[in-house]
Structure 1
Amino acid sequence: MTATDVWLPIPADEIDGLPDPADAGLNYRYWDGDPEYPADPADCVFYVVPYMKDMEVAVRPMAAMTSVRVIQTLSAGIDHVQPGLHSLPAGVRLCNAKGVHEASTAELTLALILASLRGIPHFVEGQQREEWRAGFHPALADKSVLIVGYGSIGAAIEDRLVPFECARVARVARSARTTERGEVRALTELPSLLPEADVVILSTPLTTSTHHLVDAGFLDRMKDGALLVNVARGPVVDTKALLTELESGRITAALDVTDPEPLPAGHPLWHAPGLLITPHVGGPTSAFMPRAKRLLAGQLTRFAAGEPLRNVVLTTE
């Protein structure tokens, strides 16, 4: 019997535009990480990884998916499924969720920058204590911004920076190229770019080359008073090195992701000076579900028709 199951973390009847199961020869199975599987993983041909679940959940069924042909994440990053890729048969396409999280993550990035520069956490604390904490704070206007990781999310962040009258936006990615907005510099040029940036935004994928990219040397090159914003992955930053800089008061930071994550009670990051923390909420907003459903409907329509899929990150060997 040919495997025909599609595992979805969203009930199929809630996704408009999916191929008709009878016409496409597909069986839609709902699985959002529950202990019990909806069917035999060996019969799954298209696996949509549960969203906002930990790595153990994401990879748990993969070793038994002997017929799988597509792994589709609902996140921009793929690091949470990579440990399970070695167990898959050759020729499996891994697709990410490019197009789903750009709006939400870019919004949060701007919120973190503005909240940090304008002292919003300080004002909230003052409100709770009934204290009128007037004073001078820096603006985003006239600042030099460096975006490290210039994929679709990095580009969406720059789109939203445009009205804020930044003096300069520099872009860095794995390799140099030219875009409609201008030059994208290679990661190797970071040492010369960091001293010029008032705000450094991290939106790079987590890979072996970006793990602890932000180490003591990286932070030391940042100018005094600069703001580091991480909306990428926690391990892109060396937490110990960041704590050293924060405790010195030389730079400030805003983190939507941390290492470790979730951040445990008692961890020194909770009370580090000059730090704003949000609990990995860049993606899960009201903008997520409509975009995720459109992505799945489109991908499965292409899959059923034998057409090329979008967002293919790699193919297993």
Structure 2
Amino acid sequence: MPAYDSESARPLVWLPVPPDEIDGLPQSLEYAFWDAEQDYPTDPARCVFYGVPYMKGADPVVRPLLQMPNVRVLQTLTAGIDYLEASLPTLPSGAQLCNARGVHDASTAELALALTLAALRDIPGFVRDQDAERWNTGFRPALADRSVLIVGYGAIGAAIEDRLTPFECARVARVARSARESERGPVHPLAALPDLLPDADVVMLALPLTSATRSLVNGGFLGRMKDGALLVNVARGAIVDTDALLAEVTTGRLCAALDVTDPEPLPVGHPLWHAPGVLITPHVGGPSSAFMPRVKRLLRDQLHRFAAGDPLRNVVITAG
């Protein structure tokens, strides 16, 4: 789609959603649609607000950045920004990187709960039994009366706990980068994990990938989890040491439900595909019917703030 009024002197915005599909955009800005295609819709040097395309991989979406000397805002449609970190030093001084906090909370929390229930109640086993026309009844674990540990208590972690509330869990413990109080109780620091892990029946990962969290879930972390515990990852695959996880699930001591993996996409023939007690979904925590309405609301709000010179929401980094 070509830029609107391409000869205009209005500040130029690149959007990953066609502008005519977002009601109420400020008229003081010019818009172009770009979703990581090979050809650019306009000269990247004119872009001052870059809406980063969603789920296109790091290389395509960072490609225009070196040609954007005037960019003032990078607005992602993801909660995590790890795929942009290598490009941050190239941003002009003062440029702001904003994430999509609030866009993925509902959808990702839903999937976290769905993966937990499916893994505990052995829904994959029932599907295989149905395919084989096999009636295989018996007792399976429930979420009720279980102890849950949420590692990463930001917006998504809090949304997960919202959805756990009706399931009569014995207790929910919360961990974030640093200690604080929440409406539901204390949030423990990452340093408290060794003491919290042995009591958790379900460990749910919802934290960002950073240098501090890469391979956080290693052999030592997994070794402190109780026998029969379930690891649920809706964060980033590289937070988990895949080899260490394979060693635990292969013995049957732990189970896992993973929306993200390392490597990702998981290649054909990788042992994680057929590891016992492992349920895998292909990074679909965000992509759901809840995604686009929230994206449009975020972009519209941010662009009105930008046009008015007001502070933006969700500023993660300001380039120095």
| TM-score normalized with structure 1 length | 0.98
Q: Displacement of 1:54 after TM fit?
A: 0.3
Q: Equivalents in 1 of 2:25, 2:197: separation in Å?
A: 46
- Is residue 134 of structure 2 the alignment partner of residue 127 of structure 1? no
The equivalent residue for 1:36 is 39
Structure 2 counterpart of 1:218, one-letter code: F
SS in 2 for 1:247: helix
Q: Equivalents in 2 of 1:3, 1:254: separation in Å?
A: 48
The equivalent residue for 1:47 is 50
- Is residue 288 of structure 2 the alignment partner of residue 276 of structure 1? no
Q: Equivalents in 1 of 2:255, 2:270: separation in Å?
A: 18
Considering only aligned residues, what root-mean-square deviation do their CA atoms show, in Å? 0.9
The equivalent residue for 1:14 is 21
Q: Equivalents in 1 of 2:138, 2:283: separation in Å?
A: 30
How big is each residue's C-alpha offset from its partner over 1:141-162, in whole Å with a ceiling of 9 and x where there is no partner?
Answer: 0000000000000000000000
Q: Equivalents in 2 of 1:92, 1:132: separation in Å?
A: 60
The equivalent residue for 2:62 is 59
The equivalent residue for 2:207 is 204
Q: Which aligned pairs between 1:1-317 and structure 2 lie closer than 5 A?
A: 4-20=11-27, 24=28, 26-317=29-320
Contact 1:59–1:83 (CA under 8 A) maintained in structure 2: no
- The answer for unaligned runs of 5 or more in structure 2 is 1-7
How big is each residue's C-alpha offset from its partner over 1:158-212, in whole Å with a ceiling of 9 and x where there is no partner?
Answer: 0000000000000000000001111000000000000000000000000000000
Q: Displacement of 1:3 after TM fit?
A: 7.3
Count of residue pairs brought into register by the alignment = 313
Q: Equivalents in 1 of 2:212, 2:158: separation in Å?
A: 21
SS in 2 for 1:121: helix
How big is each residue's C-alpha offset from its partner over 1:250-272, in whole Å with a ceiling of 9 and x where there is no partner?
Answer: 00000000000000100010000
Q: Equivalents in 2 of 1:37, 1:178: separation in Å?
A: 46
How big is each residue's C-alpha offset from its partner over 1:84-130, in whole Å with a ceiling of 9 and x where there is no partner?
Answer: 11111111100000110000000000000000000100000000000
4+ aligned runs moved over 6 Å, structure 1? none
Q: Displacement of 1:135 after TM fit?
A: 1.1
How big is each residue's C-alpha offset from its partner over 1:266-304, in whole Å with a ceiling of 9 and x where there is no partner?
Answer: 001000000000000000000000000000000000000
Structure 1 counterpart of 2:12, one-letter code: D
Q: Equivalents in 2 of 1:265, 1:178: separation in Å?
A: 44
| TM-score normalized with structure 2 length | 0.97
How big is each residue's C-alpha offset from its partner over 1:235-264, in whole Å with a ceiling of 9 and x where there is no partner?
Answer: 000001000001011000000000000001
Q: Equivalents in 1 of 2:264, 2:64: separation in Å?
A: 23
- The answer for unaligned runs of 5 or more in structure 1 is none
Contact 1:3–1:67 (CA under 8 A) maintained in structure 2: no
Structure 2 counterpart of 1:213, one-letter code: L
Q: Displacement of 1:57 after TM fit?
A: 1.2
Structure 2 counterpart of 1:90, one-letter code: S
Q: Equivalents in 1 of 2:246, 2:10: separation in Å?
A: 51
Contact 2:10–2:30 (CA under 8 A) maintained in structure 1: no
SS in 2 for 1:172: strand
SS in 1 for 2:49: strand
Q: Displacement of 1:17 after TM fit?
A: 1.9
SS in 2 for 1:289: helix
